Structure 1
């Protein structure tokens, strides 16, 4: 396999306002598409990457006006991945629910990964980049699991990415989900603070369980409607741990409907027979301070037709 030269000679890039404040390793990952993180850390460590003619660490944050030296980099040629299909592009294009100069939001369909990898050639972000080839910057602000639908934010500017991610870290956003839980909930509103520990199985699959050694996690469950043997709930998450809602719901004794990992098999089968074909977990809305205006905005993602129609079935059977 012949090596592909990512850049043929030494490059010098002057940092503009768009890239100021970004870590050097993240900046290089964006500049040297396809180069493994390990190799980028290696050229930083060896001093081949210089900022203002000096050596830096991978944690260095770029300043406006910095001059960055990027050495020639070779990478083994990889097989060209196929472009996202027209059906996926149309699906994503029709799922856009908000867009301005700095942000884009889509009502993510269930069953589509947010990014390529682990055997997936492309996901949501690759499709958005294909839809907007002239965009200089498009990055996911946060993620949703493949089977979870709903509101997903994408930054169109570096400043917007950093700003909203800081809000998420500082817990200054309001994220609400809708979910159908197995069983008729006896509570009206329940706060769950069970700590969550993430493990990786030998297969590479991620698994999360309640454990006192885990990270502190907080979810608020509010019942919206009770059916014969299920409950529609709104969940506000304060923290954003992996599989948090699904594991906290299990902790409550009311597994998320259609959850094949943490769910209740008998419940899933009953609901499948009535027409539920997927995980009933939907990111319904997110509220946060807009990075440009400073105003608080709320972006809402309506339930997909399959989930909305299934709720109508439950209402009729009630």
Structure 2
């Protein structure tokens, strides 16, 4: 009896691309590593970072670092890569449900001709890439097709709260300048395991990114890292956890999460940095979200001082109540 074999769909077959010259569009100010992750779907992150380290990727004919940023009109040389499960479907044609678009537009905190600020739900990435077909910015571009929406900053996928976007290039450049000059005040609220010592009000430890063998990006404290400072304030305490207010002086990847974890009080629901005891506490109480919320942005815009606040989500409050904290109108940090 002859054996039958299930045919492999063409879309599931790895594809080797040739050398490509790409003109950067709609990406001004984005880090080149993030740009490549978005553009090279199906290519492992480890391969992307190796291409950058070895000089295989060239920007306008020159070598680049992962932290360098692209500008619209730049010419990017991308070497041959093997794309797993490759398809020829562009990101713009990936279906985004009307429900998602309506959800995000219903959470707009501020909008004018220059800026758009939303209260991003936990679980939605800010942009597509690394196996994620789309993110908040792609969905919002469909809702605002007459704009050139770009992210002003980043939030982790599992972090909820204030997300700032620019509608055109000049607004984006102004945002980046304000962020570099630390003119944008960011305030977060978080729940951490254990009783945070009130004497610890500032954590100032340098942070560096590194890759796991799987290619997943992580962050650790290192003297070779970039300076990072987070101010913490205790808002409320129970026998098992602390509600903290955090203010960023720098904007490093996973900064609050790492600074909290190395201080011995990991953010509850953090699957990357929480030690076993904190993970067990979250599992015991059924806490399924990262208990980190970008609550407030304060900055000057068009001659006015803007203070934008995203309400603390219901599931965050329920997590606090499960830890023995008070809820409702008496929530901390109000």
Task: Pick the TM interval, shorter chain.
Answer: 0.7 to 0.9
- 1:87 counterpart = 2:99: yes
Query: Where in structure 2 are the equivalents of 1:22-61 lying within 5 Å?
Result: 45=61
Q: Counterpart in 2 of 1:190?
A: 201
Partner of 1:267: helix, strand, or coil? helix
Task: Tell me how far 1:87 sits from its aligned partner.
Answer: 2.2
Alignment size in residue pairs: 266
Listed as ranges, the gaps of 5+ residues in structure 1 are 2-24, 47-57, 63-67, 71-75
Q: Counterpart in 1 of 2:248?
A: 237
Q: 1:195 to 1:94 in 2, by over 3 A?
A: same
Query: Where in structure 2 are the equivalents of 1:281-296 lying within 5 Å?
Result: 281-290=292-301, 293-296=302-305
Higher radius of gyration, 1 or 2: 1
- Please give the alpha-carbon distance, in whole angstroms, between the structure 2 residues aligned to 1:303 and 1:59: 33
- Please give the alpha-carbon distance, in whole angstroms, between the structure 2 residues aligned to 1:117 and 1:265: 29
Partner of 1:98: helix, strand, or coil? strand
Task: Tell me how far 1:310 sits from its aligned partner.
Answer: 2.4
Of 165, 173, 182, 1:154 maps to 165
- Please give the alpha-carbon distance, in whole angstroms, between the structure 1 residues aligned to 2:237 and 2:166: 37
Partner of 1:315: helix, strand, or coil? coil
Task: Tell me how far 1:120 sits from its aligned partner.
Answer: 1.2
Taking structure 2 as the reference length, the TM-score comes to 0.71
- Please give the alpha-carbon distance, in whole angstroms, between the structure 2 residues aligned to 1:181 and 1:29: 35
Of 129, 133, 137, 1:125 maps to 137
- 1:300 counterpart = 2:312: no
The answer (yes or no) to whether the contact 1:107–1:150 under 8 Å persists in 2 is yes
Of 78, 95, 99, 2:88 maps to 78
- Aligned alpha-carbon RMSD (Å): 3.3
Task: Tell me how far 1:236 sits from its aligned partner.
Answer: 0.4
The answer (yes or no) to whether the contact 2:26–2:148 under 8 Å persists in 1 is no
1:38-79 per-position Cα deviation (integer Å, ceiling 9, x unaligned): 9xx979559xxxxxxxxxxx99999xxxxx9x9xxxxx9822
Moved more, 250-259 or 264-273: 264-273
- 1:166 counterpart = 2:194: no
Listed as ranges, the gaps of 5+ residues in structure 2 are 1-9, 11-22, 29-34, 41-51, 63-67, 76-85, 328-334
1:171-218 per-position Cα deviation (integer Å, ceiling 9, x unaligned): 121101000011011215511111111112221111111111111110
- 1:315 counterpart = 2:328: no
Q: 1:228 to 1:161 in 2, by over 3 A?
A: same
- Please give the alpha-carbon distance, in whole angstroms, between the structure 2 residues aligned to 1:79 and 1:114: 20
1:206-265 per-position Cα deviation (integer Å, ceiling 9, x unaligned): 111111111111000100000111000000010000111011001211111111110132
- 1:266 counterpart = 2:297: no
- Please give the alpha-carbon distance, in whole angstroms, between the structure 1 residues aligned to 2:39 and 2:102: 31
Q: 1:130 to 1:217 in 2, by over 3 A?
A: same
Which stretches of structure 1, 4 residues or more, deviate above 4 A after TM superposition?
A: 25-30, 33-38, 41-46, 58-62
